[in-house]
């Protein structure tokens, strides 16, 4: 379930998904991108964070990750 301003919060799975994960404030954050292999275009983006790392919807990290996901869809990436 997502809250307003966190539409991309969740998980992506599959062989066409690339993940990046890092520690943050005693927790972990993870960014997932679904990439079309032929064009290297980001088709979907999602982020996850442990409770310690993300806090509530107003946490600066949540806002940053949500903005990153919104802007990533449609971009070409080097995978």
Condensed to tens digits (0 to 9), the pLDDT of residues 24-55 reads 877 888 999 999 989 999 999 999 887 665 55
Domain assignment present for residue 78? The answer is: no
Give 51 or 19, the one with higher predicted confidence: 19
Q: What is the pLDDT of residue 79?
A: 59
Residues in the chain: 79
Average pLDDT, the chain: 81
Total tally of structural domains belonging to the chain: 1
2 has pLDDT over 50: no
Residue 26 lies in a domain: yes
Residue 22 lies in a domain: yes
Top pLDDT among 4 and 25 is at 25
The answer to whether residues 79 and 35 touch, using CB atoms and an 8 Å cutoff, is: yes
Does the pLDDT at position 1 exceed 50?
Answer: no
SS3 of 59, please?
coil
> Does residue 60 lie in a domain region?
yes
């Amino acid at each position: 379930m997502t809250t307003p301003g966190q539409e991309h919060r969740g998980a992506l799975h599959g062989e066409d998904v690339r993940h990046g994960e890092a520690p943050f404030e005693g927790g972990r954050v993870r960014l997932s991108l679904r990439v079309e292999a032929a064009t290297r275009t980001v088709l979907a983006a999602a982020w996850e964070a442990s409770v310690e790392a993300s806090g509530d919807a107003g946490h600066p990290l949540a806002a940053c990750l949500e903005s990153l996901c919104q802007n990533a869809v449609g971009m070409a990436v080097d995978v």
